[in-house]
Structure 1
């Protein structure tokens, strides 16, 4: 098939694009940085510089590529776009990504309709942000937490827009868990090694992870099967923060994470961090495994962390 990957030079795109090419697909991949065009060409893709917030540029790029499937992987989370991670001010940290998930999604869907693209697959997020009622592990039938009144609220609204718009258009939405892999494991390990990532309160809040290679493989399956609806793309083991953080500290040779009461963490790290660590809900991958035939190389973050930090 002809596959158009919007955001093809991003952290997931760098695994997805070569996989698609290796499976015989003709890939057009976009980037906002012309310096990355040789990298895309090296993988066998046609690279295009495109601003996802420019409706005319999006329309032109999609029309030129004439894809059978359009894949929306556009974010602006990288340090070069958003600065250092800042959960306390998540509204500012994710401002660019929120626009890409709102306006950018609309531009891509409009371009797909105008060009006659038959299917759209889009990135969503499902790591710790399941609705905070009931059990610790959520399925696709459960809602996402709107995080009302917190700095994460605009981001959750943008994710909701992606899911609603793409599903309404007959496409598929992939709720990826917390990414880790060769290029991003240090984002987790570094602060733990420096004891800058404490366990807040009970540490009972659950989180779901996914290795980038497994996420890319699931995306290829969704593209090839033209999946419809919502799928949780996470590993087999949603885990409480006090468990995965302690394990991660052991793998990097650090002391056990410090414990900080929620009342103290709230003004220091913000409400979102407290929710993640104390009330977060993880996700089940049963539907993706059953309907997409997805098989994970790293069924548990334990295996993946050990591999990446060996």
Structure 2
């Protein structure tokens, strides 16, 4: 088997974490819609390419050499931009392709009233964006069957990590403790998304995997725990009913479930951050919670 070559459609927050975790120094190319983000991709070890919904000759050349394809672009309300642009190239112009990974969301399960769900649970998407995700998952699985290549669907919970976490929100003064009785969310640290992707890709494993932590928890508890680490007072609790929220934010609270992760563990993956406490403690101790760059935990300026 020759050298692995990775291509990421949509090398954003999770894609850059994947690039930083490249211990084998495999070639990784990734797309962005904004050339202004090229430098950030390079710093994460990703060769940047511009993708605006159509394949350029450069992207076509890269795909022909790609062994492992990762898609981290959400479908819009009409269609899946990557499938629209690249379906025929994937079918006919990727002779080296071994594996496809598609980053989806646990939003496909919809609301289960706080009950546990696993990969066998019914998908009952509530929002239009989650309905489009269910359709996109099926389209990628179908394409994989057509070309006889494994497709891994990674259903991700709420993504956090350096630069995106309750410590940052408290430091910025934007943290809120919304309380909706009985409401819980799962979370996933970006390094575990990267770790799960590398684990599945290195083994060419296909299937559906919930990539999520072990401990669904009320969001107000996460803020309180972060405040304790920082030695600051947590913000006052706000009843959900009276909170000013965007329609998008409010829609997240319309879904309540506890997401199990047995399939990815059965595939042999061990989580670095099995719950929010371990992750917040590590980021605070390492001082990389703000932007990934280590600093003194007491220097919050």
TM-score (norm 1): 0.75
- Partner residue in 1 for 2:148: none
Is the CA contact 2:9–2:82 (under 8 Å) kept in the aligned structure 1?
no
Correspondence for 1:286: 262
CA–CA separation in structure 2 for the residues paired with 1:60 and 1:100: 26
Residue 142 of structure 1 deviates from its aligned partner by 1.6
1:49 aligned partner: 50
**1:201-251 CA deviation, whole Å, 9 max, x = no partner?**
31x212111111111011111222222221111111111334334323433
Q: CA RMSD in A?
A: 3.0
Q: Helix, strand or coil for the counterpart of 1:214?
A: helix
Query: Residues 1-310 of structure 1: matches in 2 within 5 Å?
Result: 1-8=4-11, 10-20=12-22, 22-41=23-42, 45-51=46-52, 53-54=53-54, 56-57=55-56, 61-66=59-64, 67-74=66-73, 98=76, 102-116=80-94, 117-126=97-106, 130-133=109-112, 135-147=114-126, 153-170=127-144, 171-185=151-165, 189-190=168-169, 194=173, 196-202=175-181, 204-265=182-243, 268-270=244-246, 273-274=249-250, 276-277=252-253, 279-291=255-267, 293-310=268-285
Distance 1:48 1:138 in 2: 37
The separation in 2 between residues aligned to 1:100 and 1:36, in whole angstroms, is: 26
Between the aligned partners of 1:273 and 1:44, the Cα distance in structure 2 is: 33
Contact kept? 1:137, 1:238, Cα under 8 Å: no
Determine if contact 1:185/1:308 at 8 Å carries over to the other structure: no
C-alpha spacing 1:190/1:43, structure 2 compared with 1 (3 Å): closer
8 A contact 2:110–2:255 mirrored in 1: no
In the TM superposition, residue 269 of structure 1 has moved relative to its aligned partner by 1.3
Deviation at 1:262, TM superposition (A): 4.0
Superposition deviation, residue 181 in structure 1: 1.2
CA 1:2/1:256 → structure 2, altered by over 3 Å: closer, same or farther?
A: closer
Query: Mind listing any 5+ residue stretches in structure 1 that lack a counterpart?
Result: 76-96, 148-152
Using the TM superposition, give the Cα deviation of residue 290 of structure 1 relative to its aligned residue in structure 2, in angstroms: 0.6
Provide the rounded CA distance (Å) in 2 between the counterparts of 1:262 and 1:43: 38
- Structure 1 stretches (4+) deviating beyond 6 angstroms? none
Residues in 2 aligned to 1:179 and 1:142: alpha-carbon distance in whole angstroms: 21
Displacement of 1:38:
4.8
Query: Matches of 1:6 and 1:298 in 2, distance apart?
Result: 26
**Structure 2 gap ranges (5+):** 145-150, 286-301
Give the superposition deviation at 1:141.
Answer: 1.3
Could you give the per-residue CA deviations for residues 119-166 of structure 1, whole angstroms, max 9, x where no partner exists? 32111112x66432365321111234422xxxxx22112222221111
Aligned length: 273
Aligned 8 A contact 1:166 1:172 in 2: no
With the length of structure 2 as denominator, give the TM-score of the two structures. Answer: 0.77
